[in-house]
Chain A
């Protein structure tokens, strides 16, 4: 049976970006307000799940040609590298550092190595959630 998903697909096209931006926001705001890599990653994957619901597996894979296993591995590597990076500065493993920089567009911003670690968490969560959902969804 062929169904017409026009409304949901149209809505999704709008909502996806809202959720995506919200996820990015929650991720970056994590250090000062509720949020962080974990929730951000989950929200990101829920946005992709919404795409899946509206467009089915194959089209979404064409839209977002991401290998989620590689994504997971990349995330894990980033986290580990952030944690391990400290040993090159002769401080214990997992010592973070932060400072304030004057960035173009953003002005004075604090950049914290914990953010790179959280990026890794974000990518792992997205990768893992999407792997699971795609695997189980593709299995049906």
Chain B
């Protein structure tokens, strides 16, 4: 139970957080919260040794046993790595937030509840083995992220950003649910373990590619891949600890986790490799290119996160190639997976620290606008050091961990052109080129971020606050992360064997049975014959040139058409959906009952005619027809004359009397068709209703003045056609149904038993009160309700009139 309990531990603690916030105002609530991730880190750390040896853990908590849905916590190399990232970075972020969030001004109760909710959700995502519970936690991350982005809900931008991220990630989440359901149906199981076992048979199913694309949509929206990355820059309205935690280290990596987790299932498909690699590499270039344009510190970091996530995504795509090759090539391509996991860890360290530094700068100077900042180096030396370490690692400079993973990335992209399948041997050459260009831009924005903030001229008059170094507590977390950045450079193989190899073995279960078989070592120096070395040197050189000439070429961004940016497209789509839905509903919801009748009757005609046409249902038969008598013809003529009179008359009185005539004629029909009960009732009811009509219409204005003539010709023609259509359709159906009696009538039973069983002679009445008395019971209830309704309408109206008079 302990593993499943660990997932839910944060949200259970969250229940008491508001209480602590209210009852213990002297101590910052964050200190209590801090215990949770710290305890969890220790808990998960105990699993490291056995996971390194290749064992896995699985625990189940039934949720809906009848549907075989349960919370299954599955711990292997990959999920352990993510769990440690989530809880480890979580602990540092909570520590940072203790100094960042003011305990008097902020609603800390809300903040930490959302944060703990998010922690549970993320742990659930990375440990779930059941697709449905994975989806459950996935949406919980979207919701808690929504709440955290909109934390300062009085600000418009916060609400906009929260809504935007919600729309995009929930869209992706729903698509992913669709993919999961397809997988569950074609694999007949919702367990990821079991799906992986039957991966080869799944790949031959028709719906497989749909499942693949839908799951990828979920991963791409969550991981802010092109073109869904647009929510991430707007999510920067969240408090900085949130940005550091969710939008750099954990939530955006849920998509990467998903891709890695599903690699054994989907990697056999060519679509998968191209989509994951292609989208990743485009995102990498796009994000790094636009990061240089930003002027807000957090926006630079947001675009940089997008770009780095694209890098990891493309590496995961290249890693999937290992499923298509044999022999030595397997190791060549799993190396990409290895690099992906390594960069994922590295990115979490340096991006987390950079976000925290951006928060510190915001906190201590009052602005994040890079144009107002500058010359903070001597004022904030510790922040500068940390920022420098983070930025250089991001740029891929030794001796920081980013350098190692960037070189591994370049190596991996170069390998792709040796893969002579799915056109990678021709188009594959583009990928290292794009990767190289993107790395140049990464270099540029990394330098831009750190040097434009800390070097140059100090402009105190533009800053809302006098800049000074942050309190020591705030610097602890970024300091730890920056230390890790350097430590990872010097002991990469420790990280490699402890964390990366188990994760790689989990992603590539076919190639490696136990983590120890993954035989990669990380070297900072490959010798002079490594092409990646020259590429890296080229990046430094060209990047430095670009950085120096920054003011000369940045106007290029102004030239880009602003109309076609993805944000404008998103806004356009939202406007279109909103306005379009509004226009559409105001088009048919006219408020006029006449239009609704037109729709309903037109629908009746179309549906009936369509059914008749496609089912070939029209039958006409002249058997079983009774001979026509003279009386019937005569009464029919009277009926028709009466009906036509109602339609063409200009006087309402004539219409009412003609209606009465029609009613009495119907009574005549009842008589000649031998229905005396009906005839009696019809006569009396017709009399009563004509009298009521007369009473009601007596008070109405004359018909000519108001209604006739106002309707335009087209409307009347339309009415005529629809009325004609309904009449014709009903006639056709009556003829067909009369022409084919499929089952015998039950009337014989009534005839035989009316006296012997029911003790009566009048079949109609006996049916009404005995055989089918239930109907009658409710018909008299209907009458009662009608009379009560009339009482209500009239007395309440009178009461209202009286009240009006009083006032």
Q: Which residues of B contact A127 (CB under 8 A)?
A: 784, 787
Docked CA distance A132–B785 (Å): 11
Query: Quick one: which of B765, B774, B780, B794 contacts A136, CB cutoff 8 A?
Result: B794
Given A94-B774, A128-B783, does the pair A32, B760 have CB atoms closer than 8 Å?
yes
Interface-located stretch among B25-33, B53-61, B652-660, B677-685: B677-685
Whether A131 lies near B774 (C-beta < 8 A) is no
Whether A128 lies near B784 (C-beta < 8 A) is yes
Interface-located stretch among A1-9, A57-65, A116-124: A116-124
Query: Quick one: which of A31, A117, A128, A135 contacts B773, CB cutoff 8 A?
Result: A117
Residues of A31-47 whose CB lies within 8 A of B: 31-39, 42-43, 46
Whether B794 lies near A32 (C-beta < 8 A) is no
Q: Which residues of A contact B784 (CB under 8 A)?
A: 72-73, 76, 124, 127-128
Whether A136 lies near B769 (C-beta < 8 A) is no
Nearest CB of B to A63, in Å:
21
Determine if B781 is an interface residue (Cβ-Cβ < 8 Å).
yes
Query: Quick one: which of B688, B769, B790 contacts A36, CB cutoff 8 A?
Result: B769
Interface 1/0 per residue, B716-760 and A, CB below 8 Å: 000000000000000000000000000000000000000000111
Nearest CB of B to A66, in Å:
14
Given A31-B760, A69-B791, A121-B776, does the pair A42, B769 have CB atoms closer than 8 Å?
no
Determine if B551 is an interface residue (Cβ-Cβ < 8 Å).
no
Given A39-B680, A124-B783, does the pair A135, B760 have CB atoms closer than 8 Å?
no
Determine if B777 is an interface residue (Cβ-Cβ < 8 Å).
yes
Q: Which residues of B contact A98 (CB under 8 A)?
A: 758-759
Nearest CB of B to A52, in Å:
11
Query: Quick one: which of B680, B759, B794, B798 contacts A35, CB cutoff 8 A?
Result: B680
Residues of B756-807 whose CB lies within 8 A of A: 758-762, 764-766, 768-770, 773-774, 776-777, 780-781, 783-784, 786-788, 790-791, 794-795, 798
Whether A34 lies near B769 (C-beta < 8 A) is no
Q: Which residues of B contact A94 (CB under 8 A)?
A: 773-774, 777
Q: Which residues of B contact A131 (CB under 8 A)?
A: 787, 790-791
Docked CA distance A99–B685 (Å): 34
Determine if A112 is an interface residue (Cβ-Cβ < 8 Å).
yes
Q: Which residues of B contact A36 (CB under 8 A)?
A: 677, 762, 764-765, 768-769
Determine if A139 is an interface residue (Cβ-Cβ < 8 Å).
yes
Docked CA distance A118–B776 (Å): 9
- Name the residue on B nearest A99 (C-beta): B759
Query: Quick one: which of B680, B692, B761, B776 contacts A31, CB cutoff 8 A?
Result: B761
Whether A114 lies near B766 (C-beta < 8 A) is yes
Determine the interface band of chain B, counting residues with CB < 8 A from chain A: 35 or more
Determine if A15 is an interface residue (Cβ-Cβ < 8 Å).
no
Nearest CB of B to A31, in Å:
4
Docked CA distance A4–B592 (Å): 49
Query: Quick one: which of A76, A125, A136 contacts B790, CB cutoff 8 A?
Result: A136
Q: Which residues of B contact A120 (CB under 8 A)?
A: 780
Determine if B676 is an interface residue (Cβ-Cβ < 8 Å).
yes
Q: Which residues of A contact B591 (CB under 8 A)?
A: none
Nearest CB of A to B488, in Å:
80
Determine if B464 is an interface residue (Cβ-Cβ < 8 Å).
no
Determine if B714 is an interface residue (Cβ-Cβ < 8 Å).
no
Nearest CB of B to A68, in Å:
8
Choose among A26, A68, A131 the residue with the greatest number of B CB atoms under 10 Å from its CB: A131
Choose among B769, B770, B786 the residue with the greatest number of A CB atoms under 10 Å from its CB: B769
Nearest CB of A to B673, in Å:
14
Docked CA distance A30–B770 (Å): 12
Whether A114 lies near B762 (C-beta < 8 A) is no
Query: Quick one: which of B677, B684, B770, B777 contacts A46, CB cutoff 8 A?
Result: B684
Given A98-B759, A135-B794, does the pair A83, B684 have CB atoms closer than 8 Å?
no
Docked CA distance A132–B784 (Å): 10
Determine if B695 is an interface residue (Cβ-Cβ < 8 Å).
yes
Q: Which residues of B contact A46 (CB under 8 A)?
A: 684, 687-688
Docked CA distance A31–B791 (Å): 33
Query: Quick one: which of A31, A76, A112, A129 contacts B781, CB cutoff 8 A?
Result: A76
Q: Which residues of B contact A121 (CB under 8 A)?
A: 769, 776, 780
Determine if A21 is an interface residue (Cβ-Cβ < 8 Å).
no
Whether B762 lies near A136 (C-beta < 8 A) is no
Whether A72 lies near B677 (C-beta < 8 A) is no
Whether B762 lies near A96 (C-beta < 8 A) is no
Nearest CB of A to B776, in Å:
6
Docked CA distance A118–B770 (Å): 10
- Name the residue on B nearest A98 (C-beta): B759
Q: Which residues of A contact B769 (CB under 8 A)?
A: 31, 36-37, 96, 114, 117-118, 121
Whether A132 lies near B787 (C-beta < 8 A) is yes
Docked CA distance A26–B760 (Å): 14
Whether A114 lies near B777 (C-beta < 8 A) is no
Docked CA distance A37–B798 (Å): 33
14 contacts between A and B (CB under 8 A): A26-B680, A34-B677, A35-B765, A36-B762, A36-B769, A73-B784, A83-B774, A96-B769, A96-B770, A114-B773, A128-B787, A131-B791, A132-B692, A136-B790
Which 5 pairs show the lowest CB-CB distances between chains A and B? Answer: A32-B761, A34-B676, A98-B759, A36-B765, A42-B684
Q: Which B residues form the contact surface with A (CB < 8 A)?
A: 676-677, 680-681, 684-685, 687-688, 692, 695-696, 758-762, 764-766, 768-770, 773-774, 776-777, 780-781, 783-784, 786-788, 790-791, 794-795, 798
Q: A110-B759, A112-B760, A132-B692 are in contact. List 8 more A-B contacts (CB 8 A).
A: A31-B760, A34-B676, A39-B684, A46-B688, A96-B770, A128-B786, A132-B790, A140-B695
